[in-house]
Structure 1
Amino acid sequence: MPRHARGFDTAAAWDHLQRRDRRLGTWMKRIGVIEPEPRWRRPFDPVDALARAILFQQLSGKAASTIVGRVEAAIGSNRLHYDTLGRIDDAALRACGVSGNKTLALRDLAAREARGEIPTLRQMAAMHHDEIVAALVPIRGIGRWTVEMMLMFRLGRPDVLPVDDLGIRKGAQRVDRLSQLPTPKELVARGEKWGPYRTYAGLYLWRIADFSQEAKAATNRSQD
């Protein structure tokens, strides 16, 4: 069974995309080399990351970080798992600022972890990224996009393209000079040219979508 390393050779990805897509390649040269590897080397706990992704949903990075800090203080741990979350009841979670829906999502995640339904990092290393998506999207509050962000930024999988992401679609629209946003289905077809480095292409599409905007201050995200 093949094992998947965390991260990939960005120089190889650069060369591949330059050869395969002249339009994207021109933009890549304009932006410069993107080096995301340090994030792939950080310690990573899938259950904790999923819990934080739930807490960060639909909130600004600052607001979400505040709520996460309250939860950590309430459970006496910076590790969000079924055992530590079990130290706090629903009312206390609400007092930390966690919504009812997010509380239900955290409880579902914890219950699934306790039943052994959440793949460990070691198990994920032997799984195709589509298998990881299939294993995690049944969790309440976890959608495909959330798992794709984990695959790209924490597991360093080289060939993931979140075709439903608005920034990705805007970037592709700009590269191809389209009058309208490409549909997810059209983007799947467009991405065939970028494989097996769709992840690296996606990093550039996000930059391209925001290229005309002034740099913004960095905000905390659940996958940071």
Structure 2
Amino acid sequence: MLSLDIDEAVSALRASDTHMANLIARVGPFELALTDEWSPFQALVRSVIFQQISTHAGRAIQGRLFSLFDGSAPEPDAVLQTTPEELRGVGLSQAKEKTIRNLAVHAADGTLPDQVAMEKLTDEEIIKTLTIHRGIGIWTAQMLLIFNLGRPDVWPVTDLGIRRGYKIAYGLDELPMPSELRDIGDRWKPFRSIASWYLWRANDL
């Protein structure tokens, strides 16, 4: 994560409450794999793929999509050279195919900020910049902030994995609502991305 002492962050989370401390003990060291070698366009493509589907399905579609581009995350120009049928053939819905193609247009013409430009923006500015694009909502922008840009204090309260993870870690009978999680997350500032990672891992326990 950007300019972050991970040990300090994990210690602060551990001290926040007993349930989080127990979760950290069960999961182990924080090991978030960043995709910072990818451009924002490539990271957004991945996030679009994973919108509202399971991790297993998302990985399968990503693999088939990347196979169209020699096994690599596609560049904007390469996407624009494909047909809609080719992209949908890997398992993308019509809406996701159009979103990815639209992003490719804006990345190619420079209206989608690159990595250097993104690094100069705040989290809120990035979300505002990205969500003007078709098919890009707050969740998709937040995934880029966490996994591509390594921002340490992102809290994706609408994410189903976060909601399920909190239910598991805190022994709840029902999934917490996003509005509830929004307030709960205040205790983990400014390390909510790290808290998110641990809650995602709770689903694997």
TM-score of Structure 1 vs Structure 2, range by shorter chain: 0.7 to 0.9
Residue 201 of structure 1 pairs with residue 195 of structure 2? yes
* Partner residue in 2 for 1:156: 150
> Equivalent residue of 1:40, what SS?
coil
Mapped partners of 2:27, 2:76: distance in 1: 43
Residue 67 of structure 1 pairs with residue 61 of structure 2? no
C-alpha contact 2:61 2:90 (8 A) present in aligned 1: no
Mapped partners of 1:43, 1:25: distance in 2: 32
C-alpha contact 2:156 2:162 (8 A) present in aligned 1: yes
Q: Please state how far the C-alpha of 1:91 moved relative to its aligned partner.
A: 4.7
Q: Which moved more, 1:99-108 or 1:178-187?
A: 99-108
Q: Please state how far the C-alpha of 1:32 moved relative to its aligned partner.
A: 1.8
Residue 10 of structure 1 pairs with residue 21 of structure 2? no
C-alpha contact 1:23 1:176 (8 A) present in aligned 2: yes
Map 1:116-155 onto structure 2 (within 5 A).
116-155=110-149
Mapped partners of 2:47, 2:23: distance in 1: 31
What are the superposed Cα offsets for residues 92-125 of structure 1, whole Å, 9 maximum, x if unpaired? 5456665433332223112322443212111111
Backbone CA RMSD of aligned residues: 2.6
What are the superposed Cα offsets for residues 154-204 of structure 1, whole Å, 9 maximum, x if unpaired? 211111111111221122223333332211111011010000001111111
> Equivalent residue of 1:64, what SS?
helix
Map 1:1-224 onto structure 2 (within 5 A).
6=2, 8-36=4-32, 39-40=33-34, 42-55=36-49, 57=51, 58=53, 59-70=57-68, 72=69, 78=72, 80-94=74-88, 98-211=92-205
Q: 1:23 to 1:55 in 2, by over 3 A?
A: closer
Q: Which moved more, 1:194-203 or 1:12-21?
A: 12-21
Q: 1:20 to 1:140 in 2, by over 3 A?
A: same
Q: State the TM-score, normalizing by the size of structure 1.
A: 0.76
What are the superposed Cα offsets for residues 28-75 of structure 1, whole Å, 9 maximum, x if unpaired? 123222222xx33741211122234334554441243123312x15xx
C-alpha contact 2:2 2:150 (8 A) present in aligned 1: yes
C-alpha contact 2:161 2:200 (8 A) present in aligned 1: yes
Mapped partners of 1:95, 1:175: distance in 2: 38
**How many aligned residue pairs are there?**
201
Q: 1:115 to 1:202 in 2, by over 3 A?
A: same
Mapped partners of 2:116, 2:89: distance in 1: 35
> Equivalent residue of 1:182, what SS?
coil
Percent of aligned positions with the same letter in both sequences?
Answer: 34
Mapped partners of 1:181, 1:47: distance in 2: 32
C-alpha contact 2:61 2:92 (8 A) present in aligned 1: no
2:79 counterpart letter in structure 1: L
Question: Considering only CA atoms, is the larger Rg found in Structure 1 or Structure 2?
Answer: 1
C-alpha contact 1:48 1:81 (8 A) present in aligned 2: yes
